[in-house]
Chains A and B, each alone.
Chain A
């Protein structure tokens, strides 16, 4: 059974810092991994999707990496801004089972 863990559960950083959010999964037989952002009172917005054959994906100040063999993914946010404050969730697609989500990392960027 796939399990997804995100560390840390919460993170507070000053504006301008670069930061890394971590996601680990127990079963390396995955099709893809997605990073989502969730603002308070809102649904989830997909940020990046990494296929199992890829090592990383980039979008603006966001960079997500995937190391399938070790069961790890990281989301790197460069030059953080107060608008980046949200909960970030990773989710693993193993193909024939539902997406499995982590519990998320709650990020606060302080101006």
Chain B
């Protein structure tokens, strides 16, 4: 079974530029997550999708971050304009065939963003 795929793996941009990350979850997984992990910290949830609906985006900085999951499969996370403090690893994860608590979460290898 293929894992969670993410691209690009690495991206360096200047502040105020825009960037987009793509995620393809494990086949059949209804729940998709985007996490932000700053160096030395644990991951912090940005947004959670159940199929193509948003379950939780309370920690998403909506003035600059946006995410969508059209057709309930792939997802993209966009940052525009980027700030220096957005430098982090952006982890996509998926879980369960019906979502919900108790399902193991599978993470992709992350997209590493450096804003200079």
Contact = CB atoms under 8 A, between A and B. Distances in A.
Interface of A: 4, 31-32, 34, 36, 41-46, 49, 51, 89, 91, 93, 95, 97-104
Contacts of B59: 98
Given A98-B45, A101-B42, A103-B40, A32 B101 contact: yes
Contact of B91 (A44, A91, A102, A104): A44
20 contacts: A4-B42, A41-B109, A41-B112, A43-B4, A43-B91, A43-B93, A44-B43, A44-B107, A45-B107, A46-B104, A46-B105, A49-B104, A93-B101, A95-B101, A98-B48, A98-B56, A99-B43, A99-B105, A101-B43, A104-B42
Contacts of B93: 43-44
Contacts of B108: 43
A32 B104 CA distance: 10
Interface residues of B, number: 23
Interface of B: 4, 33, 40-45, 48, 56, 59, 91, 93, 101-102, 104-110, 112
Contacts of B106: 46
Contacts of A51: 102
A36 to B, nearest CB: 8
Nearest to A9: B40
